[in-house]
């Protein structure tokens, strides 16, 4: 009987410690709402099997310590609790603002000295200490959440026409296009596509309110933008995003979707190269958001 009581007492104490730890983390972690869209995207690209995320006692223990937790920016505090569930674990930043995300070093903009290290200060005006500008590899990201969104989107297996087909890959490259600065109309569309939803005469300003992640190369003017047209909402059945890579004179845009083609089309390169034949929901979505003229300028006749 005493043994049973001891086991019961230990179990209750364990649950109490878990609940107290969870309450402390939630209360001291800042505003958690900024992860909503990113986690829905993670589910679509295969990094999460389901939502909501269940935070266990083991997850709370991974926070390491209160002192370490309290020294992190809010976005990193929050990610310490669940980031390992996305397959991209975070090692907290130290006093020099250096940590590790997955298998890459992470440098967080902790002071003005950060900006003097690089030629680019493109994100200086939008820097937020709660979700700070970061460097990973040779790229500087607008904020830590952008790092996570871009890393998850780009590490997911992708199918591209004519390059072999993996039925388990969640993402498919639908169409790609290159735009030169020498084409003023198309260049104007690319230049504003991810910034102002009303630019390029879009039929609905959805681009300005959807999840958008940005990064900039430290080696030059190259800049990447990931614009999620669909997939960041709770009820969205699939995800669609445009990846725009832009330099001073050239821009490349690729449209990706998690909408899957019927099985018979996987063996037909001719049909796979024509998204309107297999990604009908995605094409319909794009046509709701963009006028025929803009689609023609940016993608030609591919859609």
Which pairs with CB-CB distance under 8 Å and at least 24 residues apart come from 235-239? 236/40, 236/44, 237/281, 238/44, 238/281, 238/282, 239/40, 239/41, 239/44, 239/45
**Can you give the pLDDT at residue 10?**
47
Query: Within this chain, do residues 176 and 292 fall inside the same structural domain, yes or no?
Result: yes
Tokens standing for 153?
């989107």
Query: Within this chain, do residues 69 and 163 fall inside the same structural domain, yes or no?
Result: no
Q: Which domain holds residue 70?
A: 2-144
pLDDT, greater one: 5 or 244: 244
Q: Supply the mean pLDDT for the chain.
A: 78
197 three-class SS: coil
pLDDT, greater one: 1 or 284: 284
Query: Within this chain, do residues 108 and 191 fall inside the same structural domain, yes or no?
Result: no
Query: Within this chain, do residues 161 and 108 fall inside the same structural domain, yes or no?
Result: no
Arithmetic mean of pLDDT, 52-69: 83
**Can you give the pLDDT at residue 121?**
63
Residue 22, domain member (yes or no): yes
Query: Within this chain, do residues 121 and 85 fall inside the same structural domain, yes or no?
Result: yes
Q: Which of 7, 10, 79 is nearest to 47 (CA)?
A: 79
If pLDDT is split at 50, 70 and 90, which confidence band does 44 have?
Answer: confident
How many domains does the chain fold into?
2
Query: Within this chain, do residues 283 and 167 fall inside the same structural domain, yes or no?
Result: yes
CA 192/CA 178 separation, integer angstroms: 15
Give the tens place of pLDDT for each residue, 129-157.
Answer: 899 988 898 888 889 999 998 888 887 66
Give the tens place of pLDDT for each residue, 241-272.
Answer: 888 888 888 888 888 888 888 777 766 777 77
Query: Within this chain, do residues 165 and 284 fall inside the same structural domain, yes or no?
Result: yes
Tokens standing for 280?
């009908």
Arithmetic mean of pLDDT, 271-293: 83
Q: Which of 292, 192, 210, 205 is nearest to 246 (CA)?
A: 192
The model's pTM is 0.82
């Amino acid at each position: 009987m005493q043994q049973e009581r001891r086991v019961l007492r230990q179990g209750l104490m364990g649950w109490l410690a878990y609940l107290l730890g969870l309450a402390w983390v939630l209360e001291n972690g800042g505003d958690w709402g900024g992860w909503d869209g990113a986690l829905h995207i993670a589910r679509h690209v295969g990094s999460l099997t389901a939502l909501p995320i269940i935070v266990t006692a083991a997850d709370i223990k991974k926070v390491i310590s209160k002192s370490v937790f309290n020294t992190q920016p809010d976005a990193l505090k929050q990610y310490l609790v669940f980031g390992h569930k996305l397959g991209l674990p975070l090692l907290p930043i130290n006093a020099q603002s250096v940590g590790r995300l997955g298998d890459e070093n992470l440098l967080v903009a902790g002071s003005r000295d950060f900006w003097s290290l690089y030629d680019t200060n493109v994100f200086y005006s939008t820097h937020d200490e709660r979700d700070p500008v970061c460097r990973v590899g040779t790229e500087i990201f607008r904020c830590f959440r952008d790092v996570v969104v871009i890393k998850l989107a780009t590490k997911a297996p992708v199918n591209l026409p004519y390059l072999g087909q993996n039925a388990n890959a969640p993402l498919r490259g639908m169409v790609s296009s290159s735009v030169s600065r020498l084409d003023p109309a198309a260049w104007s569309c690319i230049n504003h596509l991810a910034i102002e939803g009303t630019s390029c005469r879009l039929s609905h300003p959805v681009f300005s309110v959807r999840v958008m992640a940005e990064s900039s190369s430290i080696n030059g003017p190259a800049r990447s933008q990931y614009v999620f047209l669909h997939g960041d909402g709770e009820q969205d059945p699939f995800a669609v995003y445009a990846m725009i890579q832009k330099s001073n004179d050239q821009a490349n845009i690729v449209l990706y979707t998690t909408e899957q083609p019927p099985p018979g089309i996987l063996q037909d390169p001719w049909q796979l190269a024509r998204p309107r034949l297999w990604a009908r929901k995605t094409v319909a979505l794009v046509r709701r958001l963009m006028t025929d003229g803009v689609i023609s300028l940016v993608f030609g006749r591919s859609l």
